[in-house]
Structure 1
Amino acid sequence: MGDERPDVRPDVLLTGLLFYDLVLTGLGKPPTPGEEIWTDGMGTSPGGIANLAVAAARYGLRTSLATVFGDDYYGTYCRDVLAGQEHVDLSLSRTADGWHTPVTVSLALPHSRLRSSGGTPMSGGTPTHDRALVTHGQEPPYSQDALMGDPPAARTALVHIEAEPREWLAKAAANGTKIYADVGWDPTQQWSSALLDQLALCHAFVPNDTEAMAYTRTDTAADALSKLSELVPVAVVTRGGDGALAVDQTTGEYADVPALATEVLDATGAGDVFGASFVAASLGGWPLEERLRFAVLAASLSVRRHGGALAAPGWYGVHQWWQSVQNTENTANPENTALRRAYGFLADRLPADPGPPVPHAPVTPPAPHGIPDLP
């Protein structure tokens, strides 16, 4: 008889910097020096690497996170949410005495409508017009390599590659973990092609179009994708309002999918939702076009909520959206007809039980009649 023992490896392995996010929404315009602006909405949530961890865990994936928590209120809050509420495995994480959890204030700036294939670049990337970030923090006392040590074998790892290679990444690749990588904005704007050498360790690479073109020295997203497909088995380029395109050399598939029109409350972490959703669909063995459409959809749903991590829709959010598209009251809507056609595969992909509603970021609601006059 064959070995029928269940696969107990983590589905997703993660490491990176954690933040406590405070998101302010409803600003009429960006603030200027010397000016006080009242905003009508506020949400709090774990952020940074927590965006990926929560997005993955809400698909029922066994998610293992190696990060550092400060021994302060912010660290305690983030740990409680991740472990207690979202069931993320924190056995590789540490709490650092005397170190403060980084805090980011995100100002969701006004914009009319975003057609989002991920909303924001994955884990960093080109600065965008739709939010401004102010962060207080210091480098953590434990590096990624110290946290990971000899990393456990996992089905996948979601990583952010940087100019200086991490030792744990090669170890993870050697033990059979499939590496899904993204990359961030290069503040030096040198875009060293040497960084792409790390793709030899990776199964997939998911940059946005600005990053992809800069690192490959190309002028179009399609040309960048072509170059990247020579370096990694699965290459994906997200293009904001133009959707996403990808090549999977392991199956010979090519896909180019449009974005979804959606009203945006807060785009924080939407690119991380895209990445985690693409991994979830890949672990399910879906065709490439379905993987891309699913990631586009999930990212688009996330920008309708406050915060990064707790805006992730999970199976429940996707199921609710699919039910709304199929609502008989909307059958005559041409847009919904097109969506039902494009996303019909969800009928066979969604779990029979999508689980309970997912908790969203604690929000201070707007005043019933706006901000009252001060006495």
Structure 2
Amino acid sequence: MFLDVVMAGISVPPAPGEEVWATDRALSPGGIANAAVGAARLGASTALVTAIGDDEVGDLVSDMLGAEKRLSLAPSGRQRGMQTALSVALSTAEDRSFISHGQLDPIDLASEVDAVGHAATMFVALDLELPTWVRKRRAAGTTVFGGVGWDERHGWSDDVLTQLQHVDVFVLNEREALSYTRTSTVEHAISRLGEFVAMTVITRGPSGALAFDAGSGVLSESPGIRVRAVDPTGAGDEFVAALMRTASSDMAVADRLLFANLCASYTASGLGGAVSNPTLHGLESWLLGHRSEIAADTSAVSDLITAWIDDCGHADQALPSSPSQTQPTRKEK
């Protein structure tokens, strides 16, 4: 769980002793909150299980997330004396640099997880060993989605892949897939990962996404969506949230990938992660304006969005806006 401070529109990061001015900024809950907010905005009843400190950063994060409809923070207790993780992102036209502070995995979340009722889906970050509550949830009927981050701690250890036996769907990006499998092509990587897990999904940014069903041997693909990316922060998390949201639908896998790509592209076209995640109404409007940029049939996705809007009514609610100069057309009523 992070508070992200995004500073964008700078030409180069400051050298020691220098000061530069950004043209845009955004404050947003980050880390695991990206996926949680993403799922809630897409109409899913969502619980966020994480550690939030009792400091001023934790106050701000809690206030912002507390305004989000369908997102419960009840399982996420405030931790006395803990400093909530903070990450400052400096974004140039070419790349981003980060300065972060906080403690990874600050507490054992087992008791907090036990407080959550049955969940149709859940997301967990893979490590060398998964907590026992992941297996318990899966045995109770929850579909487990797993992901990985940039693995500088474990050096792309094979021990992480052995944890896939407790996961139903493994989602990672192309660079992570090639690093873990020690392969040179995404096709070889996804086939290799199919030896460990039933469904593997590899995201490829503007090149789209692939999914491999190990049981049937079917490889599904969705094209990328080329939009002007303002800030990629949280786009991968939004992809996972959207994929989880469609888990109970009867959509073809390729259409599920397309829906997830649409949601991720929407997030990347705004500044900040969770604060730029789409609501259903926002996604519907955005899709209408970007059909010419999508090299795929979007009818199944449009029908699904319409059905979900009808189910959810008009309860869409966005996080409070942070001070930002992001695209005015993205502001939602």
Task: Return the offset for 1:147.
Answer: 3.0
1:365 corresponds to 2:330: no
Partner in structure 2 of residue 203 of structure 1: 168
Rounded to whole Å, the distance in 2 between the matches of 1:51 and 1:63 is 12
Q: Give the aligned residue type for 1:358.
A: A
Task: Return the offset for 1:283.
Answer: 2.5
Partner in structure 2 of residue 82 of structure 1: 65
Does the C-alpha gap of structure 1 residues 139 and 252 become closer, same or farther in structure 2, counting only changes over 3 Å?
closer
Task: Return the offset for 1:24.
Answer: 0.7
1:173 corresponds to 2:128: no
Task: Return the offset for 1:239.
Answer: 1.8
1:351 corresponds to 2:306: yes
Rounded to whole Å, the distance in 2 between the matches of 1:189 and 1:65 is 26
SS at 2:7 equivalent: strand
Q: Give the aligned residue type for 1:33.
A: P
Task: Return the offset for 1:225.
Answer: 0.7
Rounded to whole Å, the distance in 1 between the matches of 2:175 and 2:6 is 26
Contact 2:222 2:255 in 1 (8 A): no
**TM-score, length-scaled by structure 2:** 0.89
Q: Give the aligned residue type for 1:315.
A: L
* Count of residues paired in the alignment: 321
Task: Return the offset for 1:249.
Answer: 4.1
Partner in structure 2 of residue 44 of structure 1: 27
1:319 corresponds to 2:319: no
Rounded to whole Å, the distance in 2 between the matches of 1:247 and 1:139 is 31
Question: 1:337-348, aligned counterparts within 5 Å?
Answer: 339=294, 341-348=296-303
Partner in structure 2 of residue 26 of structure 1: 9
User: Whose helix proportion is higher, 1 or 2?
Assistant: 2
**TM-score, length-scaled by structure 1:** 0.79
Partner in structure 1 of residue 196 of structure 2: 231
Question: 1:134-145, aligned counterparts within 5 Å?
Answer: 134-139=99-104, 141-145=106-110
Residue-by-residue CA offset, 1:246-300 (whole Å, 9 max, x unaligned): 1234566421222111112111111000111111122223110001111111111
Q: Which has the larger radius of gyration?
A: 1
Does the C-alpha gap of structure 1 residues 340 and 191 become closer, same or farther in structure 2, counting only changes over 3 Å?
closer
Task: Return the offset for 1:360.
Answer: 6.2
SS at 2:294 equivalent: helix
Q: Which moved more, 1:350-359 or 1:175-184?
A: 350-359
SS at 2:164 equivalent: helix
Partner in structure 2 of residue 68 of structure 1: 51
Q: Give the aligned residue type for 1:362.
A: S
Does the C-alpha gap of structure 1 residues 141 and 361 become closer, same or farther in structure 2, counting only changes over 3 Å?
same
Does the C-alpha gap of structure 1 residues 313 and 295 become closer, same or farther in structure 2, counting only changes over 3 Å?
same
Q: Give the aligned residue type for 1:19.
A: F
Partner in structure 2 of residue 120 of structure 1: none
**Structure 2 runs not aligned, ≥5 long:** 327-333
Rounded to whole Å, the distance in 2 between the matches of 1:139 and 1:213 is 25
Partner in structure 1 of residue 331 of structure 2: none
**Structure 1 runs not aligned, ≥5 long:** 1-17, 112-129, 327-335, 367-375
Match of 1:159 among 110, 124, 129: 124
Rounded to whole Å, the distance in 2 between the matches of 1:140 and 1:293 is 32
Does the C-alpha gap of structure 1 residues 231 and 86 become closer, same or farther in structure 2, counting only changes over 3 Å?
same
Task: Return the offset for 1:194.
Answer: 1.9
Q: What is the CA RMSD across the aligned residues, in angstroms?
A: 2.3
SS at 1:24 equivalent: strand
Rounded to whole Å, the distance in 1 between the matches of 2:43 and 2:174 is 30
Task: Return the offset for 1:315.
Answer: 1.3
Task: Return the offset for 1:32.
Answer: 2.0
Residue-by-residue CA offset, 1:125-183 (whole Å, 9 max, x unaligned): xxxxx322111223565223343247643111111101232222112112111101111
Rounded to whole Å, the distance in 2 between the matches of 1:341 and 1:289 is 10
Task: Return the offset for 1:232.
Answer: 1.5
SS at 1:301 equivalent: helix
Partner in structure 2 of residue 114 of structure 1: none
1:57 corresponds to 2:40: yes
Question: 1:9-24, aligned counterparts within 5 Å?
Answer: 18-24=1-7
